Amino acid sequence: MHPFRKAVEARDLDAVADLLDDDVVFTSPVAFQPYPGKPITVAILRNVIEVLEGFHYVREIGAPDAADHALVFEATIDGKAVTGCDFIHVNDAGLIDDFVVMVRPLSATKALAEQMNLRYERIKQQAGF
């Protein structure tokens, strides 16, 4: 099991933060531009874990020593079933430097966008913006 998956499943967001490179780039399923940097990525993850109910990984794709991993998850939001995937790349230092999330179906993606938009000011504040 990838350490990131283990940390997320334990809801240990400090451990998740420790696995991120300072220059990580987070690509959201609901935002046009990627978010560069550890502070904003951690703030987003702290909020999304509150929004996605029953979040759990169902599959992990990638060899233990590979740089790229795909972590398939399921959850619900506003009563809608969500299936998604976290695509992570680990750099030579063993830290996640690229993090892309994709979510389906569209109705759940819209609900996720609405819920995260409601938290956007808090996310910015948590990130120190």
Question: Residue 123 and residue 129: Cα distance in Å, rounded?
Answer: 9
Check if the beta carbon of residue 73 is closer than 8 Å to that of residue 58.
yes
Mean pLDDT value across the chain: 95
Tell me the mean pLDDT in the region 95-102: 98
Q: Coil, strand, or helix at residue 80?
A: strand
pTM for this model (two decimals): 0.93
**pLDDT above 90: residue 106:** yes
Question: Residue 106 and residue 112: Cα distance in Å, rounded?
Answer: 10
All structural domains of the chain: 3-127 (3.10.450.50)
> Shortest CA distance to 40 belongs to which of 54, 20, 59?
20
Alpha-carbon distance values, 82 to 72, 73, 74, 116 (Å): 11, 8, 6, 15
Tell me the mean pLDDT in the region 6-31: 95
Chain position carrying tokens 């609405």: 114
